[in-house]
């Protein structure tokens, strides 16, 4: 049992360790833009639809045309946007507007996407490592609709494993990041998506996607084992959940992966049936003969809007909790279960919610385990402050670092922006000045 | 019950194993019953026979249904029964008629898994499509039941002192329903349901390829409480349809099928044979040649799967299916490459396996027709993808094919092929695409992929199609959400599953009563 007073104490400490916004002047500008967007649903939609189309625009003129078209749909506009609309009426105005808008979007993208290629990401990875922060690199890409695209993504992943191996080999030792009491932890860590490894993920036929993605994922597991890297398989929408979970557990059960690599999967706490899935994962992990514990990244889940809209359009009960507090409570319950399941699993608590994080720290202490025996994960661009605070408080942190070009990254970027400006997001509540005690209260 | 607002019947959540298992159980329950004896039903008479046979398009040796072939004499008898029953059904309170339809919907709902299995077997609909077919039939019944109740209240018209004006909608009489095989449950249910809800009696001729599905529709309606005299069933071929539509006792003809047949029905229905004292009305849904415009700012991650789904799922055998893609030259090469790659990933096989995208086409002639056009496409243009290697040995399968570079006058770009053949054309602009669309005689569905609100507005304003879908697939209209029907030679402009569809099945009557007596309003 975790005492709320302890959660509160830990939360206060973490909060005090958050760096002040003043240290990142550019970030403050972004935050203001996002704040503006989160208070006006129409504007938010227009801006995000613009961000979404930026990479597909062929010229600055085309950019300006899209921007003014989207802004023109708004009932009321904040003043600077009215100015933008007026600029769009002349050719030089459009050029200036298009250039500025593209630069704005690129700037925003760079906050969330570390580089275009793993090689170019090396500098960022090194800086983080030196600050005591590990990473998991995620290769952004266009949707996979053909076999060639699946092959290409698999090849990029293999190359990324090589590049990460080379980059991390050059870095000095960081003992705190390289082992916990369950054993060594690989430096290189790559997150992959099954939906990018096959064009055949079909909700009504999970076997199809499994069979098609299987050989590509098996190759990546081999590559990770050879390069002593950790391979993490992301979870996506509920449509692919069965295929992903079955594929990962089946492949990791194969004899050839008994000694490695270190691998992991994701548990999404927003799913109503996540406790049952947790049962299944823990039962598998307890039975598993593998040398390394299964890493389980506990997240709230990034496809909430999609799941709810999809279910509503079909007349189904959404598979996700619709009340945030229910999800938060489930997250805490699952946190405790994962911590209790050590050493079969290696829990990673991935949340930007200070309460959820503080709770996990308290719960870990309650088990008497070492502080390092639970990992915390944050997203690049969204969780930077929390990452600093956690690292400075001596916790083991891993930052999820997307890598890819702007075209490929746009879907990711828009999802992150929407998340950041959603009214229920912890970050926007925190930015909105809600008292710390309320933010840290039990859900 | 009918006072609850309409909601669409949820399709099965096939991403869950229990939903898939339920469908497999439905198939297991159906199989021992095959071949089904699909009867001819005239009033309380039931006639079985085996002169009309339906087979599994994926395995033509497998019999699905045996039915009698209705003759001209049967058609005449069925019309006599329907004519005699018409006044009584029309006089039945709208609420009672609606309740019968709602009970018929419940009957379908209880048997949805087995009915979906029947669609799989008789018409080779992939599971998801088959399930949606049954759900749509339920939707039509529930939607029209409610619509008929509100229509029965009459229209609101202007009233002044001293007169009382009412405008009511009366049943027209006997409605002949000629149904297609591609939505073997939903479309006959929708057309017959609309006619019955508004007080007309119905003689249904299901498609000769799908007599068992047609029989289920009539069984559902009768089980729901529609009197047997008010709904008759005549399995048969074109000849019985021709007899029905030319008969002077018929008031309304509801037809869904090909343009040549539809035009012939319109022509015949326009004649007034001796003894006919009314004009026939035709509600016709006649197919399309549907274009998807892809502008240079489109998100191809979304456009490619949506195009492939629209063109190839159910082997392209939907009147709403995509036949032509008009893509901006700036992204045309990438689009062709990705569509070709996605077509290479299509799952082709028997419709009863989950995950199948492309099953067989309905019959031998359909396969030959598609093959003819595919050959022409290869001669006149370039084949960007063609899945010959994936064709099962048994069944009426056609290789999904993508053609590019076809000349503007090619019949591949004009005719409704109704099979898995997609043409992609590069255009210089959205305006160019709109011009090409405007040159067509079909105007059923259309698609647009663009992220510019001005482009969306412009295309929406000038496209003639009945249903334009923006940034999504162009098939799968939902009752009440996407009222469905085409313009130009695609149809008579009625919208199935829409708020004004029932008006096609009624005649408005206005009564004006003078309420002034001796200079006083009484």
As for the ipTM of the complex, it is 0.94
Per-residue confidence (pLDDT) for residue A29, from 0 to 100: 55
Cis ω on the peptide bond leading into residue A424 (within 30° of 0)?
Answer: no
- Chain B residues whose CB is inside 8 A of the A314 CB are 10-11, 13
- The partner residue sitting opposite B355, judged by closest CB among A52, A72, A208, is A208
Q: SS3 helix, strand, coil % of chain B, rounded to 5? A: 45, 20, 35
Residue B341 Cα, gap to closest chain A Cα (Å): 5
- Chain B residues whose CB is inside 8 A of the A202 CB are 347, 354-355
Nearest to residue A299, comparing CAs of A204, A232, A252, A243?
A: A232
Per-residue confidence (pLDDT) for residue A36, from 0 to 100: 67
Residues A93 and A81: their CA atoms lie apart, in Å, by 13
Per-residue confidence (pLDDT) for residue A23, from 0 to 100: 47
pLDDT single digits (tens) B366-396: 999 999 999 999 999 999 999 999 999 999 9
Q: Which of B129, B319, B363, B398 is catalytic?
A: B319
CB B366 within 8 A of CB B396: yes
- What's B314's DSSP letter? G
Contacts of B107 (CB under 8 A, 6+ apart): B219, B220, B223, B224
Torsions phi, psi for B67 (to 5 deg): -145, 160
Residue B223 Cα, gap to closest chain A Cα (Å): 27
Interchain contact, A146 vs B345, CB within 8 Å: yes
- Does residue B312 belong to the interface with chain A, where contact is any CB pair within 8 Å? no
Contacts of B263 (CB under 8 A, 6+ apart): B286, B489
Name residue B55's beta-bridge partners: B63
- What's A293's DSSP letter? P
Residue A116 Cα, gap to closest chain B Cα (Å): 19
Q: Length of chain B, please?
A: 522
Name residue B253's beta-bridge partners: B176, B282
Least confident of A74-78, A308-312, B10-14, B122-126: A74-78
- Chain A residues whose CB is inside 8 A of the B341 CB are 145-149, 199
- Chain A residues whose CB is inside 8 A of the B308 CB are 145
Interchain contact, A204 vs B454, CB within 8 Å: no
- Chain B residues whose CB is inside 8 A of the A200 CB are 345, 347, 355
CB B466 within 8 A of CB B484: yes
DSSP collapsed to 3 states, B209-239? CCHHHHHHHHHHHHHHCCCHHHEEECCCCHH
Element (H, E) at B422: strand B421-427
Three-class DSSP category at B432: helix
Q: Residue B331's pLDDT band (boundaries 50, 70, 90)?
A: very high
CB A382 within 8 A of CB A112: yes
Residues B167 and B277: their CA atoms lie apart, in Å, by 22
* B110 Rama class: left (phi>0) / alpha (psi -120 to 50) / beta: alpha
CB B326 within 8 A of CB B292: yes
Strand blocks (E) in B57-191? 59-67, 163-171, 174-178
End-to-end CA, chain A: 15
* A367 Rama class: left (phi>0) / alpha (psi -120 to 50) / beta: alpha
Residues B206 and B179: their CA atoms lie apart, in Å, by 5
Each residue's pLDDT, cut to its tens digit, for chain A (443 residues) gives: 788 999 999 999 999 999 876 445 455 556 666 666 667 778 888 888 888 898 889 898 999 999 888 988 887 777 777 788 888 888 888 888 888 888 888 888 888 999 999 999 999 999 999 999 999 999 998 899 999 999 999 999 999 999 999 999 999 999 999 999 999 999 999 999 999 999 999 999 999 999 999 999 999 999 999 999 999 999 999 999 999 999 999 999 999 999 999 999 999 999 999 999 999 999 999 999 999 999 999 999 989 999 999 999 999 999 999 999 999 999 999 999 999 999 999 999 999 999 999 999 999 999 999 999 999 999 998 899 999 999 999 999 999 999 998 777 877 888 787 777 776 778 777 877 788 999 999 99
Interchain contact, B11 vs A314, CB within 8 Å: yes
Interface of B with A in 325-384 (CB under 8 A): 330, 338, 340-342, 344-345, 347, 353-355
Q: Specify whether B213 is catalytic.
A: no
Residues A313 and B398: their CA atoms lie apart, in Å, by 32
Interchain contact, A315 vs B345, CB within 8 Å: no
Interchain contact, A202 vs B9, CB within 8 Å: no
**Taking the model in full, what pTM does it have?**
0.96
Interchain contact, A315 vs B9, CB within 8 Å: yes
Residues B507 and B171: their CA atoms lie apart, in Å, by 6
pLDDT single digits (tens) B228-265: 999 999 999 999 999 999 999 999 999 999 999 999 99
Interchain contact, A62 vs B299, CB within 8 Å: no
Per-residue confidence (pLDDT) for residue A21, from 0 to 100: 60
- The partner residue sitting opposite A145, judged by closest CB among B9, B305, B452, is B305
CB A192 within 8 A of CB A157: yes
- The partner residue sitting opposite B304, judged by closest CB among A58, A145, A202, is A145
Residues B385 and B339: their CA atoms lie apart, in Å, by 9
- The partner residue sitting opposite A316, judged by closest CB among B13, B298, B340, is B13
Torsions phi, psi for B139 (to 5 deg): -60, -45
Interchain contact, A66 vs B451, CB within 8 Å: yes
Residues A244 and A263: their CA atoms lie apart, in Å, by 14
Nearest to residue B342, comparing CAs of B353, B360, B357?
A: B357
Interchain contact, B300 vs A142, CB within 8 Å: yes
Residues A50 and B54: their CA atoms lie apart, in Å, by 53
Q: Which two tokens stand for residue A110?
A: 């760079």
CA A5 → CA A1, A173, A357, A359, A441, distances in Å? 12, 36, 14, 10, 9
Q: Which two tokens stand for residue A273?
A: 């049936």
Q: Which residue of A has its CA nearest to B342?
A: A146
Torsions phi, psi for A403 (to 5 deg): -130, 135
CB A121 within 8 A of CB A385: no
Residue B415 pLDDT greater than 90, yes or no:
yes
- The partner residue sitting opposite B452, judged by closest CB among A66, A239, A411, is A66
Beta-sheet pairing, A133-139 with A189-192: parallel
A262 CB neighbour count, 10 Å cutoff? 24
Interchain contact, A239 vs B15, CB within 8 Å: yes
Q: How many A×B Cβ pairs under 8 Å? A: 96
Per-residue confidence (pLDDT) for residue A22, from 0 to 100: 42
Return the C-alpha torsion angle A268, A270, A276, A282, nearest 10: 30
- Does residue B109 belong to the interface with chain A, where contact is any CB pair within 8 Å? no
Residues B522 and B507: their CA atoms lie apart, in Å, by 30
Interchain contact, B296 vs A56, CB within 8 Å: yes
CB B253 within 8 A of CB B175: yes
- Chain B residues whose CB is inside 8 A of the A147 CB are 341, 344-345
Q: Specify whether B319 is catalytic.
A: yes
């Amino acid at each position: 049992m975790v005492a709320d007073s302890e959660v509160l104490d830990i939360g206060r400490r973490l909060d005090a360790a958050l760096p002040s916004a003043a240290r990142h002047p550019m970030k403050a500008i972004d935050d203001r833009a996002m704040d503006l967007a989160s208070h006006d649903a129409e504007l938010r939609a227009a801006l995000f639809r613009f961000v979404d189309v930026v990479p597909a625009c062929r010229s600055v003129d085309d950019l300006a045309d899209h921007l003014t078209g989207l802004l023109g749909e708004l009932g009321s506009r904040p003043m600077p946007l009215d100015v933008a609309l007026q600029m769009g009426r002349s050719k030089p105005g459009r050029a200036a507007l298009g250039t500025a808008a593209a630069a704005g979007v690129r700037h925003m993208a760079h906050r969330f996407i570390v580089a275009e290629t793993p090689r170019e990401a090396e500098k960022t990875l090194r800086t983080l490592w030196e600050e005591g922060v590990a990473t998991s690199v995620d290769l952004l890409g266009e949707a996979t609709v053909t076999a060639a695209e699946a092959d290409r993504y698999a090849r990029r992943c293999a190359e990324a494993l090589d590049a990460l191996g080379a980059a991390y080999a050059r870095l000095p030792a960081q003992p705190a990041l390289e082992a916990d009491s369950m054993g060594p932890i690989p430096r290189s860590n790559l997150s992959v998506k099954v939906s990018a490894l096959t064009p055949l993920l079909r909700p009504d036929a999970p076997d199809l996607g499994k069979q098609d993605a299987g050989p590509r994922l098996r190759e990546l597991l081999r590559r990770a084992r050879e390069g002593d890297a950790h391979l993490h398989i992301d979870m996506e929408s509920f449509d692919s959940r069965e295929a992903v979970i079955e594929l990962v557990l089946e492949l990791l059960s194969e004899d050839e992966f008994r000694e490695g690599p270190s691998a992991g999967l994701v548990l999404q706490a927003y799913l109503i049936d996540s406790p049952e899935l947790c049962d299944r994962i823990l039962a598998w992990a307890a039975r598993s003969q593998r040398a390394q514990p299964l890493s389980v990244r506990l997240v709230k889940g990034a496809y909430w809007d999609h799941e709810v809209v999809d279910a509503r359009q079909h007349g189904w009960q959404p598979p996700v909790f619709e009340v945030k507090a229910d999800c938060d409570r489930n997250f805490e319950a699952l946190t405790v279960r994962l911590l209790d399941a050590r050493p079969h699993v290696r829990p990673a608590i991935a949340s930007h919610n200070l309460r959820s994080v503080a709770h996990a720290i308290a719960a870990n202490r309650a088990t008497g385990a070492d502080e390092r025996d639970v990992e915390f994960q944050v997203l690049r661009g969204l969780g930077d402050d929390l990452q600093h605070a956690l690292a400075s408080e001596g916790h083991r942190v891993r930052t999820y670092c997307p890598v890819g070009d702007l075209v490929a990254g746009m879907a990711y970027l828009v999802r992150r922006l929407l998340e950041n400006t959603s009214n229920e997001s912890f970050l926007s509540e925190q930015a909105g000045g809600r008292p710390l005690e309320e933010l840290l209260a039990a859900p | 019950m009918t006072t609850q607002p309409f909601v669409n019947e949820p399709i099965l959540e096939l991403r869950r194993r229990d939903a898939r298992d339920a469908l497999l159980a439905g198939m297991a329950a159906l199989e021992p019953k095959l071949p089904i004896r699909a009867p001819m039903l005239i009033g309380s008479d039931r006639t079985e026979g085996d002169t009309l046979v339906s087979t599994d398009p994926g395995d033509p040796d497998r019999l699905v249904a045996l039915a009698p072939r209705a003759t001209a004499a049967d058609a005449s008898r069925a019309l006599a029964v329907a004519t005699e029953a018409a006044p009584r059904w029309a006089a039945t309170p709208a609420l009672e008629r609606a309740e019968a339809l709602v009970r018929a919907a419940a009957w379908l709902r209880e048997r949805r898994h087995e009915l979906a299995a029947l669609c799989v077997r008789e018409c080779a609909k992939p599971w998801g499509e088959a399930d949606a077919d049954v759900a749509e039939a339920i939707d039509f019944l529930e939607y029209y039941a409610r619509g008929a109740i509100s229509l029965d209240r009459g229209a609101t018209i202007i009233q002044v002192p001293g007169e009382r004006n009412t405008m009511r909608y009366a049943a027209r009489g006997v409605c002949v329903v000629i149904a297609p095989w591609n939505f073997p449950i939903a479309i006959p249910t929708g057309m017959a349901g609309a006619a019955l809800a508004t007080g007309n009696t119905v003689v249904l001729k299901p498609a000769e390829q799908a007599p068992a599905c047609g029989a289920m529709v009539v069984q559902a309606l009768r089980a729901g409480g529609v009197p047997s005299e008010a709904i008759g069933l005549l399995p048969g071929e074109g000849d019985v349809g021709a007899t029905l539509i030319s008969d002077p006792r018929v008031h309304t003809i509801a037809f869904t099928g090909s343009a040549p047949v539809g035009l012939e029905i319109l022509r015949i229905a326009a004649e007034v044979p001796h003894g006919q004292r009314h004009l026939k009305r035709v509600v016709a849904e006649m197919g399309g040649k549907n274009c998807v415009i892809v502008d240079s700012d489109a998100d191809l991650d979304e456009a490619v799967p949506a195009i492939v789904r629209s063109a190839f799922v159910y082997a392209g055998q939907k009147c709403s299916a995509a036949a032509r893609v008009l893509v901006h030259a700036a992204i045309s090469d990438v689009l062709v490459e990705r569509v070709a790659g996605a077509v290479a990933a299509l799952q082709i096989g028997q419709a009863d396996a989950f995950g199948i995208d492309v099953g067989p086409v309905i019959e031998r002639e359909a396969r030959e027709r598609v093959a003819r056009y595919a050959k022409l496409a290869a001669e006149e243009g370039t084949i960007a993808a063609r899945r010959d290697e994936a064709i099962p040995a048994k069944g009426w399968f056609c290789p999904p094919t993508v053609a590019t570079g076809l000349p503007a006058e090619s019949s591949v770009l004009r005719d409704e092929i109704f099979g898995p053949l997609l043409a992609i054309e590069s255009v210089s602009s959205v305006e160019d695409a709109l011009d090409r669309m405007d040159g067509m005689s079909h105007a059923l569905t259309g698609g647009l992929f663009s992220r510019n609100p001005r482009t969306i507005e412009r295309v929406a304003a000038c496209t003639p199609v009945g249903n334009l879908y923006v940034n999504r697939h162009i098939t799968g209209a939902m009752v009440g959400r996407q009222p469905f029907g085409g313009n130009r030679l695609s149809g008579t402009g009625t919208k199935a599953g829409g708020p004004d569809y029932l008006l096609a099945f009624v005649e408005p009557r206005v009564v004006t009563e003078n309420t002034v007596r001796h200079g006083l309003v009484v």
